[in-house]
Amino acid sequence: MRAFFKSKKKYMISVFIVISFLILSYFYFDGDKILVSLRAVFSHPFALLIIMGIYLLSFILKAFAWKLYLRGIPRLSTCLMGVLYSLFINHVLPVKAGDLVRIGVMKTREKKIHASEAVNSVIVLRAIDLASLIVMAFAGIFAFEIKIRFSLVLLLAALAAGIILLVLLKKTLPKKLGEQYHLLKETMLGKNGILIFLFTFTSWILEAAVVFVTIILIANPITPLEAVWVNSMTVAGQIFQITPGGLANYEAVMAFALNAIGTDLQTGYTIALLTHGIKFLFSYMSGAIVLIMYPIKFNTIIQWVKKGEVNKNEERI
């Protein structure tokens, strides 16, 4: 029953953010401005190539972190395929099921990695992801002195996200980490742990390049630190994803985040649409590549997702 109400609360917040996006669209959607901005971006193919290259590098760093956590046993290609498959699936399905497919890729390609190790590694690395984003988000709030200008919608969403995250971490991590305590201790203590955190943290900084370069091409530029903060707030908001790739959620949170540092809502809304479009393009391109390199039947993916959901439900009982 408690799990039911927790899921309902998360769903209500998700719907609230989607409604915020619809309101933004009603007031600020400008087809001509979006078209002009789109032409500005694609008229600089070299800049677009740089964006894609840096974005890819961010996922390579995530793959390195995963390989390190698993004591260097899996191939880097497996780790990268798993990460890119996860990205692709999250942009195809309305829920964040990518991690379940990421685990499936690791289990099927690397026989030396036990299933529980694969699961444990993804849980821990996701926790590090969230910790990195939270650090960036709160650092930015204090660094940029974001107070009154902060939108009520974004404040409520961020507060709710923090509460849900704490509940999930309190309930899930101790049990999961207890199952693989020795792996966690061996990996995260010492040099490897530092490298894993640095690779993960840096990967999120690199992802902000999509926002930074896009804004340079179509609007008054912001600083790299501001771009990192806006990206961290936007990605953290994806915990409430209920649409493929977090459509509507991404745009609403980014528009309000940009507004918080002085960008008008219409420009912020347009930037959010374009940067999200670029990320969708990258996810589908990378998804096509990994499907060619290591094809997985759609039925197999659905089975992995269903099995993962069943396990989650069992844990809640």
pLDDT in tens, 109-142: 999 999 888 998 998 899 889 888 988 888 877 7
- Please report the pLDDT score of residue 172 as a whole number: 53
Q: How far apart are alpha carbons 27 and 23 in whole angstroms?
A: 6
Nearest to 99 by CA among 65, 125, 60, 72: 125
Mean pLDDT of the chain: 83
Q: How far apart are alpha carbons 242 and 13 in whole angstroms?
A: 10
Q: How confident is the model at residue 11 (pLDDT cuts 50, 70, 90)?
A: confident
Q: How confident is the model at residue 1 (pLDDT cuts 50, 70, 90)?
A: very low
User: Per-residue pLDDT for 280 more than 70?
Assistant: yes
> Structure pTM?
0.83
- Please report the pLDDT score of residue 283 as a whole number: 96
- Give the mean model confidence (pLDDT) for residues 207-223: 88
User: Per-residue pLDDT for 313 more than 60?
Assistant: no
Q: How confident is the model at residue 23 (pLDDT cuts 50, 70, 90)?
A: very high
- Please report the pLDDT score of residue 222 as a whole number: 87
User: Per-residue pLDDT for 61 more than 70?
Assistant: yes
Residues 248-278 pLDDT 10s: 999 999 999 999 888 899 999 999 999 999 9
User: Per-residue pLDDT for 58 more than 90?
Assistant: yes
> Is the distance from CB of 24 to CB of 257 less than 8 angstroms?
no
How many residues are present in the chain?
A: 317
Q: How far is CA 194 from the centre of its chain?
A: 21
User: Per-residue pLDDT for 312 more than 60?
Assistant: no
Q: Is 265 exposed, middle or buried (0-12, 13-18, 19+ CB in 10 A)?
A: middle
Which residues contact residue 274 at a Cβ distance below 8 angstroms, ignoring those fewer than 6 apart? 34, 37, 38, 41, 214, 218
Q: Which structure tokens are listed for 289?
A: 């590549």
- Please report the pLDDT score of residue 316 as a whole number: 36
Q: Which helix (H) or strand (E) holds 254?
A: helix 249-260
Pick the more confident residue, 310 or 94: 94
Judged by DSSP in three states, 44 sits in coil
- Please report the pLDDT score of residue 127 as a whole number: 86
